[in-house]
Structure 1
Amino acid sequence: MPSAIVTGATGITGSAVVHHLCKDPEYRKIYSLSRSSPGDKSPKIQHATVDLQSSAEGMAKELQGVEAEYVFFCAYLARDDPAEATRVNAAMLKNFIQALEKTGAIGRLKRFVLTAGFKHYGVHLGQCKQPLQEDDPLLEAKTSGDSWPQIFYYEQERILSAAAAKKGWEWVVTLPEDVLGYARGNFMNEASALGLYCAVSKVLPGSELPYPGCKANYFAFNCWTSANLHAKFCLWAATAPKAGNNIFNVMNGDTESFQNLWPRLAQRFGCKVPNPMFPGGGVPDSPGFKNYEATTVRMSNPHPLKEHEDTIGVKAEGSPTLFLQVDPEKWAKRSDVNEAWGKLRDKYGLDQKAWEKATWDFLTFVLGRDWSCVGTMSKARKLGWTGYADTWEELEETFEVLEREGVLPPVEKLKKDF
């Protein structure tokens, strides 16, 4: 029976992987690596306190006796500067692999699964060619003559493939998009911020739920990834024949749009959908435009689509622009909004850190862009992957977990009390 090592075991993706490994009867032991607690409780789990920012020698001391056939690397450190993000995250992965070499654990390894994401395609930089495919050229080729910001996943992928080729084991890179899930003490997820926005909007006068983003975003198509589905995929990819040495998109399997999700959110939280949703067509300075807390963010780089102009025969015009009719960061600082949050917090005993650490800036990007973000899972499907999750059901399930954990108010009581 095989064993597994999971780094970042208390994060949203890592904790889900640990949870599903514990449920899988094929695995006898799971080494949970993090700087804090092991997270999931199971007799299968052996926790090791490891600082992935330390040297290979330092990690090797902490990893004595830790070896397994499969590694799931879910650790990640956010940095605003792309070059610094590359330096830090590449060093973590490289030193971790070297630590396994120093302890001799690398000799037992069969496959190493690295969790990355859709930034691999440059979706954070602007409009990309759709749908996103795993063999799309990297944004460092500079065929257009433009210089792109560094994407740290590229360096990690090079480190991983080179180490695997040298030692004779296989690698897999997963690319999830907008992960829906929960890990205790981790508020860096889209569901938490969305849920808080909806819950507080219910308490505000009129209980209206204006869409924060732009009209184009409301009608755009996007994909999401359930943390649970991603974990199941990781376990599949670790052993599936022919899956080794591959990069895979990992999404729920459906394509969604906020034109469908937003009315459902309003209904769930007992809010009203404004009509019109976009006064004045959602265009600033137009007749009827309602300036809630509007924000326009213009990015300096061109759209990544520019790298595909010659192939698709269409020019990428202009530079990426984010527009929000309700800037989430400004909204979260309003006195009436904070007063409404205070009522919810005190009435239901909610976690103040959830409000303070909510990723309002992430909502700014996710809801403000005017381009779609859709990938294809044909590559994994052809190799036998059949997993599927309904995005709305996964989002609602995440809300239910957030309610139990005291991040969001119990929605049925919220609708009765306010």
Structure 2
Amino acid sequence: MTHSEQTRTPLSAGDDAKSVLVAGAGGVIGRHVADEYVRRGVPVRGLSRRPVAGARWHHLSVDLLDADAARTGIEAAGDTTHLVFGAYVERPTTREQIEVNSALLRNALQGLEAAGAPLCHVTLYQGGKAYGAHLGYFNTPAKERDPRLIQPNFYYEQEDILRAAAAEHGFEATMLRPEGVVGYAVGNPMNILMVIAVYASISRELGQPLRFPGTHAAYDALYQVTDASLLARATVWAGSEPRAAGEAYNITNGDQIRWRHLWPAFARHFEMDYAEPQPVLLAEAMPQYEDLWNEMVVEHDLVSTPFRDLAGWSFGDFIFRSGFDNVTSTIKARQHGFSDCLDTEDRFIELLQALATDKVIPPVA
């Protein structure tokens, strides 16, 4: 039994949910949440534009950017009691991010209202951007009561939309703030696990040592991650815990790491030599290895996935060049009843092994 299995919350958690709609079910967060509710025997519909391979729940193909399509597509989810909102669209400017991601949430809520859904609870995901992690240095450990920044942010806009709708229609809402979510999902630009897994696998295939590709400042800074399965358990908890109504919570594994310590552990796992960090822009370096990866897929009988969907190299560059401490306090969640935690180094190794077992990346031996 793995450590993550040992720390799971009881199966009774989440009994309040009669029917769950997960928006963004194809992403790393949404997929794990949908699977967790299914594991607990709760009916789940997963909403995304494209079907999700291997899904154990009913898929709804809906484009939330189209208000009319959203209203029509969500008609089938008229019995939804819990909405889990993990949909996200990347845009190059702050204004565009606010416009498009606000529309996603607004259309989902209006679609459920039109369907007459007996909505009881909505979980909305935020993240370190709420504290300014995307801007540079921010005060740590960040706490949920910290004031908003003067910088516009789509998290703020979405939260305001959700709180207003909750007050008008009588449902509860909880905001969860993970950092660096790790878990298996493809086509998701913000998943550092897949960046590490594919980068290490290609380096190993090339006969190179494993090198941290970021800056020395990032190599030594404190960082934290959130395991996707832990976040899924937090989501179930938030949807059934009265104290979580109207609250925001930082949700991470509960420890902090330095890449200085983890990358040698990754090298040992992959049975590779380890060399000193060498800053490399992954977004520039890695696309050239698409043909090599396709050869590796054939050689090792791996799951065939378009190379562009495997890893978000630009996201990896951002994380591995963030030369400041990124730490949020999880005390509030613990005080309110969610005490789940994981050892990040152990969990990374478990997940890397699982990727090999599932033939997403080549086996070590």
Q: 1:406 to 1:82 in 2, by over 3 A?
A: farther
Change in CA separation of 1:53 and 1:404 when aligned onto 2, cut-off 3 Å = farther
Cα 1:338–1:9 shift into 2, 3 Å: closer
1:234 Cα deviation from its structure 2 partner: 0.2
Instruction: Confirm or deny that 1:221 pairs with 2:235.
Output: no
The residue number in structure 1 matching 2:202 is 200
Output aligned runs, 1:2-81, within 5 Å: 2-25=18-41, 27=42, 29-37=43-51, 39=53, 41-42=55-56, 45-55=57-67, 57-66=68-77, 67-81=79-93
Structure 2 match to 1:375? 328
Counterpart in 2 of 1:122? 132
Change (3 A) 1:159 1:204: same
Q: Does structure 2 conserve the Cα–Cα contact (< 8 Å) formed by 1:225 and 1:251? A: yes
Q: Is the CA contact 2:131–2:148 (under 8 Å) kept in the aligned structure 1?
A: yes
Which aligned pairs between 1:225-240 and structure 2 lie closer than 5 A?
225-240=226-241
Contact 1:173 1:248 in 2 (8 A): yes
CA RMSD of aligned residues (A): 2.2
Secondary structure at the aligned position of 1:32 is classed as: strand
What is the TM-score normalised by the length of structure 2? 0.88
Runs of 4+ in 1 over 6 A off after TM superposition: none
How has the CA–CA distance of structure 1 residues 90 and 356 changed in structure 2, closer, same or farther, with 3 Å as cutoff? Answer: closer
List aligned pairs for 1:130-149, cutoff 5 A. 130-140=140-150, 148=151
Q: 1:151 aligns with which of 150, 153, 156?
A: 153
Larger radius of gyration between Structure 1 and Structure 2: 1
Task: Give the equivalent residue in structure 2 for 1:360.
Answer: 313
Aligned partners of 2:187, 2:212: CA distance in 1, in Å? Answer: 27
Would the aligned equivalents of 2:25 and 2:46 in 1 still touch at CA under 8 Å? Answer: yes
CA distance in 2, matches of 1:102, 1:68: 12
The alignment of Structure 1 onto Structure 2 pairs a total of residues equal to 347
- Name the SS for the 1:131 alignment partner: coil
Contact 2:20 2:45 in 1 (8 A): yes
Distance 1:343 1:114, change over 3 A: same
Aligned to 2:113: 101
- Per-residue CA deviation, residues 80-129 of structure 1 (Å, 9 max, x unaligned), is 22111110000111121112222221xx2111111222111120110100
Q: 1:41 to 1:218 in 2, by over 3 A?
A: closer
**Distance in structure 2 (CA, Å) of the matches to 1:94 and 1:257:** 38
Aligned to 2:12: none
Aligned to 1:247: 248
Which residue, 165, 173, 176 being the options, matches 2:175? 173
Helix, strand or coil for the counterpart of 1:230?
Answer: helix
- Secondary structure of the residue aligned to 1:231 is helix
CA offsets 1:131-183 (integer angstroms, 9 cap, x no match): 1111111112xxxxxxx3x3211100000001101112110011111111112
1:190 paired residue number: 192
Which structure 1 residue ranges, 5 or more long, are not aligned?
A: 141-147, 279-291, 293-324, 413-418
Q: TM-score, normalised by structure 1?
A: 0.78
The Cα of 1:40 is off from its aligned counterpart by: 5.2
Amino acid at match of 1:30: V
Please give the alpha-carbon distance, in whole angstroms, between the structure 2 residues aligned to 1:270 and 1:354. Answer: 24
The one-letter code sitting in structure 2 at the alignment partner of 1:136 is D
Q: Which residue of 2 aligns with 1:327?
A: 281
Do 2:195 and 2:316's aligned partners in 1 also have CA atoms closer than 8 Å?
A: yes
Give matches, 1:313-352, under 5 Å.
Answer: 325-333=279-287, 341=293, 344-350=296-302, 351=304
SS in 1 for 2:59: strand
Residue type at the aligned position of 1:182: Y
Looking at structure 2, the residues matched to 386 and 257 of structure 1 have their Cα atoms a distance apart, in angstroms, of 23
SS in 2 for 1:160: helix
Gaps of 5+ in 2: 1-14
Residue identity matched to 1:18: A
SS of equivalent to 1:242: helix
1:399 counterpart residue number: 352
Q: CA deviation at 1:393?
A: 2.7
